[in-house]
Amino acid sequence: MGEAEQQAGWGFETRAVHTGQAPDPASGAVVTPITLSTTFAQDGVGNHQGYEYSRSGNPTRSALETCVASLELARHGFAFASGLAAEDNVLRLLSQGDRILLGNDAYGGTFRLISKVWAPLGFPWSAVDLTDLDALVASWPDDTRLVWLETPTNPLLTCIDIETVAAIAHERGALVVVDNTFATPFLQQPLALGADIVVHSATKYLGGHSDVVGGFLALNDDDLADRIRFTQNAAGAVPAPFDCYLVLRGVKTLGVRMERHCSNARAVVDMLVGHPAVDRVFYPQLPDHPGHRAAAKQMRDFGGMVSFTLRGGLDAALTVVRHTQIFTLAESLGAVESLIEHPGQMTHASAAGSPLQVPDALVRLSVGIESATDLVADLQQALDHI
Ligand code: PLP
């Protein structure tokens, strides 16, 4: 039995700190060493200690892959140079003519990768409403081989019932990919709900400190894992050892950070819901939020991302994002510091004019781990500028 299997019974936070991270046998170092060597000595041809060349495998990357796979309840984990590199390796599982169904609220870069890189190569795709499962079944294209969903979605935080979508897709011969970037394995474990592959932008909550770009795939199927292992090496979009170390360091505190992100988000939502300048608040805990039932069923808590629209439309949205002092106006999310952005002109600009276009009046918050009182006060004073 391998180390990861032995530790499978440990709690999430214990696995986050220890799995794949036993003290280094050579030195006793408690922190996983950053192995920079690109090549590894062999006693005789092919006789080595598990590593030959760092694109194919690297000890620091192995530690990260073992740890995050364990957090996602996966047999296999693969780290990539970015979330999009991880996504690109999933799409390489398809054959020309295989259709991708993409949830109609998704990260703009995922939309761009599917519609602008893969579609022209002969991979048809359709945007679908994954909250309307009757319509999904009724209009299911026969050539579908992959259903790609985010839950909660970026940026409207819609939640999709993973178990039900997986059952529908599997009956029709399609794989289900869940982008678990927003929820993280601390809040939601899609493989246990029937998903085939979990995707992460490790740049976000896994890394957690806005200092590393990375991606991750977690899965259970041995054949699919062999194919991903092949393209990870053959296409070569692997992360540097130092980047693996940074993500691994972030993962150690994922549980405690997520608890704080969730409680701070709740404080912010409570204020926004009652504010006269705010039109609609998008947060999965709100009972009238689309997918609240799915979120309550499959998530441990509701996450650190909050979106809202302003009654004053685009101008009001741009005014608010310009006037916060603690929330930094910046793309990305999932780190200790709070961020604010205008999805229509920033993260989701590439979706303009498509079925994935987002409202002009929308503001997205990544609620960090600062003092909740300060965050609420900061947003209140920014709203006062409208
Ligand atoms: N998935 C989601 C939900 C994202 O928000 C992002 C980036 O913002 C990505 C994937 C892409 O990840 P990366 O920027 O690490 O390539």
Token pair belonging to 308: 């809202």
CB 36 within 8 A of CB 241: yes
Domains in the chain, start-ordered, CATH in brackets?
3-252 (3.40.640.10), 255-383 (3.90.1150.10)
Protein residues with CB under 6 Å of any ligand 1 atom: 82-84, 107, 109-110, 150, 154, 179, 181, 201, 203, 213, 215
Q: What pLDDT was estimated at residue 147?
A: 98
What's the rounded Cα separation, in Å, for the pair 36 and 54?
8
Give the pair of three-digit tokens for residue 50.
């598990």
CA dihedral 385, 309, 285, 158 (to 10 degrees): -150
* pTM of the entire predicted model: 0.97
Pocket test for ligand 1, best of 154, 158, 201 (most atoms within 8 A of CB): 201
> Element (H or E) spanning 215, and its range?
strand 215-219
> Residue 1's pLDDT is what?
65
pLDDT of residue 328: 98
201 CA from centroid of ligand 1 (Å): 5
pLDDT for position 185: 98
Check: CB of residue 162 under 8 Å from CB of residue 180.
Answer: no
Q: Which of 346, 348, 349, 268 is nearest to 105 (CA)?
A: 348
The alpha carbon of 267 and the centre of ligand 1 are apart by a number of angstroms equal to 26
pLDDT given for residue 133 in this prediction: 94
Element spanning 234, H or E = helix 222-235
C-alpha of residue 109 to centroid of ligand 1, in Å: 7
CA 107: distance to chain centroid? 10
pLDDT at 4: 77
Region of 165 (left: φ > 0; alpha: ψ -120 to 50; beta: rest) is alpha
Rounded mean pLDDT for each run of 10 residues along the chain, 386 residues in total: 81 98 95 98 94 98 98 98 98 98 92 96 97 95 98 95 98 98 98 98 98 98 98 98 98 98 98 98 96 96 98 98 98 97 93 88 98 98 98
Give the neighbor-by-neighbor strand order of the sheet with 362-366. 278-282, 305-310, 362-366, 339-341, 328-329
- What letter would DSSP give residue 96? T
